[in-house]
Amino acid sequence: MMSSALIAVIPVICVAVAGLSCLLLEAFRERGERLPIGGLGIIGLVGAAIASYLLWGRRAESFGVVVADDFGLFVGFVLILIGILTIACSPSVIERERLPQGEYYALILFAISGMMLMAIATDLLIIFLALEVFSLSIYVLTGLRREAFPSTEAAFKYFLLGGFSSAFFLYGIAFTYGIVHSTRLDRIGAAMAAQSGVASPLVLAAMGLLLVGFAFKVSAVPFHMWTPDAYEGAPTIVTGFMSTAVKAAAFAAFARVFLSALEPLRADWVPVVWVLAVCTMIIGTVVGVAQTNVKRMLAYSSIAHGGYLLVALVAGNSAAKASILFYVLVYAITNLGAFAVIALLGTRDKPIEQLDDYRGLWYSRPTASFILTVFLLSLGGFPPTAGFVAKWYVFTAAVGAGEYSLAIIGLLTSVISVFFYLRVVVMMYMSGQVEGETGPPLPRTALAALVVSVVALFYLGVLPTRLLNLAAASISTIF
């Protein structure tokens, strides 16, 4: 019988074992033989979902450094959903790009296991170890097209900058340990509360270093420079995965550390995060408008959306905390779906990445065009999609916290961002039919996953209350 101390990490173990199984199956696969390696990954993710459901409401704890509370489990469900959607849309892309199948699925699963561990970790060292587990997997996934120079260049840049950010984060942990003599978040919170609201220079240094580490992972300005190159160079389906899963895991740990352990020092870190949020929203939107490469445009869109989540962190009230989880889920479905359509529309000789490639796409690929339109409108915050509700709750929470200027800036940048989403839509529907190859039809499995995603966006856009209440109840377990 499994030790009760390991119950909290059963979902993580399910995903990690599935990743190891994918590697083992790849090792015994004969050249040219087709094996359901992706299906094995789906089984592992479904097993993790079942385990997470059984742990819901129990607050299982492992060795005092991992707690499977409802907050961590909610983020875990989001990551499992991202993994299932990614794997469902991957087979045709893997075959077209000639990616190593076993390595691809194993790396996806290892990355998810690290992210899930990061979401439930209550110790800075465990957060760091989880961060490195999924970061190394993402670095390799970015450069998985070894023969493509842009891919290897993007992976190298991401690896170097990721190493620097990890060093900052580790120094922050070291400084924190020097102050508190522990890396446990509960003990850090108690020690910070005893500071009587006056932070020493060493505390501020530790907090600043931790903030830099998190800011890099969520692509906050000015730590965003890796994002456009990494997103453009990586295989498009990998771009969709890392743009959503990394942000979900990073914001989960970000919220747990800063809204829980460092909440007593809120007056010291909120002004810094306020500036980061403003810069991130403005830079992500303004530079995104100038892009003609759709992957780079969505990269800057991802940066801007990170800024909206930072707004919720600054607001810090109960509505803002709940909106973080809701926004992460909606953003995951929307952004991953958009990148999946882009990945599936392209061919090996002609990737659909430039804006002009979408000219008249509606006439040749109406189903894919409609699905992509829904995702883009949701990213832009159009009703009745879930993207509108997610932004509405973030900005409403900011107003409720008295952050009027932050809400106004967020609203204005959101309006400006509509331009580069609608630019793609206009190109697809209003630029005239273009003669040429229509490309392969969308695979059935991928089409089913995308249709479910579209239905979910409309459902959450019309009836979001149940999920919002669940998010509020989940995040209340750590605050």
Segment 287-298, tens digit of pLDDT: 988 888 888 999
SS3 state at 84: helix
Share of residues in the chain with pLDDT > 70 (%): 95
Question: Distances from the Cα of 112 to the Cαs of 209, 237, 244, in angstroms?
Answer: 25, 15, 11
Inter-residue contact 37 to 18 (CB < 8 Å): no
Chain CA centroid to CA 311, Å:
17
Confidence label for 433 from pLDDT (cuts 50, 70 and 90) = low
Confidence label for 33 from pLDDT (cuts 50, 70 and 90) = low
Alpha helices in 257-365 (DSSP H): 266-289, 294-315, 318-345, 361-364
Average pLDDT for the chain: 88
What pLDDT score was predicted for residue 57?
85
How many other CB atoms are found less than 10 A from the CB of residue 27? 8
The answer on pLDDT for 301 being more than 60 is: yes
Average pLDDT over residues 341-355: 81
Domain range for 92 = 4-475
DSSP letter assigned to residue 3: -
The answer on pLDDT for 137 being more than 80 is: yes
What pLDDT score was predicted for residue 439?
62
* Biggest CA-to-CA distance, the chain: 70
Share of residues in the chain with pLDDT > 90 (%): 53
What pLDDT score was predicted for residue 20?
93
Inter-residue contact 216 to 160 (CB < 8 Å): no
The answer on pLDDT for 477 being more than 90 is: no
CA distance 291 to 296: 7
Tally of domains in the chain: 1
The answer on pLDDT for 1 being more than 50 is: no
Confidence label for 61 from pLDDT (cuts 50, 70 and 90) = confident
Inter-residue contact 130 to 114 (CB < 8 Å): yes
Question: Distances from the Cα of 252 to the Cαs of 125, 157, 219, 310, 431, in angstroms?
Answer: 15, 25, 14, 12, 42
CA distance 71 to 56: 10
Smallest Cα–Cα separation from 147: which of 219, 194, 98?
98
Lookup: tokens for 291: 């892009």
Smallest Cα–Cα separation from 118: which of 21, 215, 255?
255
Lookup: tokens for 223: 């730590």
The answer on pLDDT for 195 being more than 80 is: no
pTM, full prediction: 0.94
